[in-house]
Structure 1
């Protein structure tokens, strides 16, 4: 029986029902919800995953939300309940905390009406309700839990003027004002979509990346006892099973790689901190977990036993606040390195950025983990500021001579280069001391503004390799010089690197692969994995729902000339081969087709006779009618590799030059004879003579653009072997968070 009460507020009388409630919204996502919620998504269908009971709806973080009409009585008050598993905090602008536009867990709101359960990029969350007496805002004291199912509830009682916020059946916070009618909004109820957008170019960046189940909105006010009982009425499964990205989301995507490592969805960039702990490899990387755009970087994390099959793990490091409005890494966790240090602890060094003019912005910060799985980290805070350099980023760390050594990509004023530091005792945050320049960087630079992602490793007895990625200044993505990795071979005496030549060598014959991270395998071989960046428009990335891929792992070595880096595919990649190879000999001139094994292939073309003039090479991603084809060939006279993408795609999403040329060192690598090519949808990795390497992107639009063969302007003969390859999807870790 309803209990009718009345009171006066600002001269207006209204009635309120204190306990009895009636569900206006009750979504269980089982396909038979009577309210028939409307699912909004840019993909072919909504995502559904295992839920608290039955199935749950999975948002993608940037394009999807659910809505339905909702009418609430201003006099009765209301109650909201929802089960939620949140993978990550929403994205936001790289701006001071008070300029963030929060996301919404659930809302029916405008600026001055309705209600909103909100959350921002730092996990600060709460409940706002508009009343005839003004807005009431209830704020939780602790950040919202991640990677676990939780029960969230909120109520507003107009009779008492009290708004309440609950988590897992427990009252978190409440705020009581004078009695006031609820002021409903005339908009739809929406979950995972804020009432105010946060545009960033083609993107909206304050969506929510989560799984939802059992969403209820009721007229009337639920009692605390009822909310506690509802929270305890289900035993949800591990949230990891619900935060998986369903295969259906990208099932029809012709460009998404299937055996290259990349996050399950959204945006990635440089891998870094590749480290082997026991038999397990861990790789950290730049990640925006909420959409295919770059902002407020976090450190993604994945592991592998063989560098071929990967498991995605929870975000390792994310921007945080130490006070109400400031954190030393609040603007982003940029690239860095992970090493095993004293006591077997793992030490993560990263570039931290904030909004201070003086406090370590940018800075190099450290986090420490004693977790064998490297999931849990404790931040130690900033170590080094940019005193002495104009800008810097991306530390690389190694141990030598009883000390830790760190190099950091830097803007030195007149050129890019490195800042160099040493530390004798990692237990002291103040131990890092700036050293004199380790090399003559102004003479080594290519006209850049700053170097990024340095690597420094012993490559052979008495020889070291220094790798950097110069950017800015005269360097640009599609210009000359082009943004790409460069390296030097030289001598190291423990304090100074003396390159054999001041002129850098190109890490790749053709641009397209950047910023490798390296570590040694059990046999001591040096393995590198880089990023193969997008060469298509931001709008195309938005439509795809993901951006960038990691390269295949490469084994690094010093070639017999003693001055050139050689790169080979990791032998473990052979386990991807599916069945017996196609094996065919092709002779003659012109273009000759070898076969068609789909969009995931490994191709080896061994030329037994090499022309003395003209060109020869391979054709890839060829359509049956020849309208689409990618041509990769060697120009004998010019000693250059040429990538001809003029007819790679009939679509309009690609960008950048369609003809790429790169000098090839025949003296170091030998005349190109062995073309070893891996094709994985839009990503291509190439190895020449098991020594030279490069990677690039293509975007054939045709479903059947999967043929391959060889080409030459004069008579050649080549033995072609090719394998259809299996997919190696990145799996999601099923462990419950500790």
Structure 2
């Protein structure tokens, strides 16, 4: 089939009642999800002609991974989204095998080339040599895309024997286009650098950055960009085979003359189980905005039974602190979704005590809770959210003062995977711990101490589990204040 025929087939499948969502139990209220079928990595984040565009890895026929297409949605405000027709479908020999059942238009990025929306992506076919190539598709209207007639713009990796060659992120500096591509060789994850004058003919510059031997053996979804006012750059990667670390950021200096990134600091970008393949864009206000895939490979995904799979995080703004660490906070546009508000003043939480908050309940909430560690004992304290009435089901967010650890425990969160996310967190200068939570029907995103630490997890509780409780253990805790808002839905079906 031609590319347009494959696109038409995909869009027809999404409109077919047989493909429609079977149950809304876990459908999210205010996150970007596929209309049906499978979603993974965010791709092609861009503000184009005044609107925000998000593309994503998509299989429209079933809620499982298949030959990857590019789903597409746009927004005027980063909050309310309109699904657009599928943008890319595998149709070429370097994107689809002979059976039509494997391969795909894998992850990539988008740029505005003098009013032409240009997608740069990886064509992937297992068993082909090379397996992965870099490709180009363009659009004048930002909706309908034509693939480059000459085929791949980079026909293969720079050398044999590598592990992966995918996920191009493209940007322009002065009059030259640059691209980083994820790669691995000799057990080391790498970001390869290319340059071009026209997005079509590319020259290999070299290895922009690589693992020190502890950072995974292949770097998926590299993203290199300036951040802050002092010329610093940030490199974000999703390292393969690095244990619990699924996303990693590095801050440092990038030298366009040598094509090398010089790392000064590195850390996990998010400490949850369900955060992968993040990508950034620069908007017209000069903000660096990030989305991540709010799932992870190998996890149990209960929404699969409902006819869909996958979601993206809320949009987050990145800033660079003076100490070289990255801060990540939800964009303020999300405040437009705030509904009914509840405020609670100072409150002591006795040792080994649970305090129900009957005035706060729901499956779509924003909560900001501030605890005073200076006035607390050497206690564990925090919140239980999505609690059942009998207390048997809940997700626990706890701060452990003794060793300065923040934890999110999914051991009794419902039908999905369990596990405890753990992150280091020191109190702020005034001794406070600030927990900013975005709770949706099957997700929770935690921003601690004004974005110093984030934890992103999917949870799958019973729909009736909507209560919130405060608690303290092994000593008393002190709540300084708590604000909670019911969050409005952006989707008619939820």
User: How many positions carry a matched residue from both structures?
Assistant: 478
Contact 1:274 1:519 in 2 (8 A): yes
Matched with 2:264 is 500
Question: Per the alignment, in what secondary structure is the counterpart of residue 543 of structure 1?
Answer: helix
Pick from 495, 501, 512 the counterpart of residue 274 of structure 2.
512
Q: Residue 335 of structure 1 contacts residue 395 of structure 1 at CA under 8 Å; is this kept in 2? A: yes
What is the CA deviation profile of residues 19-66 of structure 1, one whole-angstrom value per residue up to 9, with x for unaligned ones?
Answer: xxxxxxxxxxxxxxxxxxxxxxxxxxxxxxxxxxxxxxxxxxxxxxxx
Are the counterparts in 2 of residues 267 and 546 from structure 1 also a CA contact under 8 Å?
A: yes
Residue among 438, 442, 445 paired with 2:211? 442
Match of 2:138 in 1: 368
Structure number with the bigger relative contact order (C-alpha 8 A, sep ≥ 6) is: 2
CA RMSD of aligned residues (A): 3.0
Kept in 2: contact 1:509–1:664 (CA 8 A): no
Which of 98, 102, 105 is 1:333 aligned to?
A: 105
Matches within 5 A, 1:83-482: 122=1, 145-146=8-9, 210-211=15-16, 245=20, 249-251=22-24, 253=25, 255-321=26-92, 331-341=103-113, 343-354=114-125, 357-358=128-129, 360-371=130-141, 373-380=142-149, 381-384=151-154, 385-388=156-159, 390=162, 391-426=164-199, 429=200, 431-439=201-209, 441-443=210-212, 445-460=213-228, 461-472=230-241, 475=242, 481-482=243-244
Q: What is the CA distance between 1:145 and its match in structure 2?
A: 4.7
Residue among 387, 401, 409 paired with 1:622:
387
Q: Which runs of 5+ in 2 are unaligned?
A: none
Asked if 1 retains the 8 angstrom alpha-carbon contact of 2:369 and 2:479, the reply is: no
Question: C-alpha separation between the residues in 1 aligned to 2:264 and 2:215?
Answer: 20
Contact 1:261 1:730 in 2 (8 A): no
- What is the alpha-carbon distance in structure 1 between the residues aligned to residue 205 and residue 29 of structure 2? 45
Q: Check 1:529–1:442 CA distance in 2 against 1; reply closer, same or farther (3 A cut).
A: closer
- 1:700 pairs, out of 418, 440, 461, with 461
What is the CA-CA distance between 1:537 and the residue it aligns to? 6.2
1:685 is paired with a residue whose SS is strand
CA deviations on 1:327-351 (whole Å, 9 max, x unpaired) are: 999720100000112x321221101
Q: Quickly say closer, same or farther: Cα 1:665–1:453, change in 2 above 3 A.
A: farther
Partner of 1:26: none
Gap change, CA 1:250 and 1:615, over 3 Å in 2: same
Answer whether contact 1:320 1:327 (CA < 8 A) is retained. Answer: no
Verify the 8 A CA contact 1:616 1:712 in the aligned structure 2.
yes
1:641 to 406, 410, 428: 406
Report the 3-state secondary structure (helix = DSSP H, G, I; strand = E; otherwise coil) of the residue aligned with 2:482. Answer: strand
Tell me: CA distance 1:587–1:539, structure 2 relative to 1, closer, same or farther (3 Å). Answer: closer
Matched, 1:682 2:450: no
1:601 CA displacement: 0.7
Q: Is the 8 A contact 1:286 1:297 kept in 2?
A: yes
Q: Deviations over 1:174-219 (max 9, x none)?
A: xxxxxxxxxxxxxxxxxxxxxxxxxxxxxxxxxx65548xxxxxxx
Shift of 1:642: 1.3
Say which of 419, 424, 428 aligns to 1:663: 424
8 A contact 2:79–2:333 mirrored in 1:
yes
Q: Which residue pairs with 1:528 in the alignment?
A: 290
| TM superposition shift of 1:483 | 4.4
8 Å Cα contact 2:110-2:119 kept in structure 1? yes
Q: Which residue does 1:153 correspond to in 2? A: none
Task: Work out which of the two has the higher radius of gyration on C-alpha atoms and give 1 or 2.
Answer: 1
1:604 aligns with 2:376: no
Pair 312,422 (structure 1): closer, same or farther in 2 beyond 3 Å: same
Does residue 311 of structure 2 align to residue 549 of structure 1?
yes
Per the alignment, do residues 639 and 535 of structure 1 end up closer, same or farther by CA in structure 2, a change over 3 Å counting? farther
Q: CA deviation at 1:569?
A: 1.1
Question: How has the CA–CA distance of structure 1 residues 406 and 328 changed in structure 2, closer, same or farther, with 3 Å as cutoff?
Answer: farther
In structure 2, what is the Cα distance between the partners aligned to 1:408 and 1:325? 23
Maintained 8 Å contact 2:54/2:73: yes
Contact residue 327 and residue 354 of structure 1 kept, 8 A = no
Paired residue secondary structure (2:208): coil
Pairs within 5 Å for 1:32-47 = none
Alpha-carbon distance in structure 1 between the residues aligned to 2:7 and 2:250: 47
CA distance in 2, matches of 1:534, 1:425: 35
CA change 1:470–1:694 in 2 (3 A) is same
- Displacement after TM superposition at 1:725 (Å): 1.0
2:355 to 592, 596, 606: 592
Mean Cα displacement is larger for which, 390-399 or 574-583? 574-583
**Rounded Cα–Cα distance in structure 1 between residues aligned with 2:448 and 2:6:** 51
Question: How far is 1:422 from its partner?
Answer: 1.0
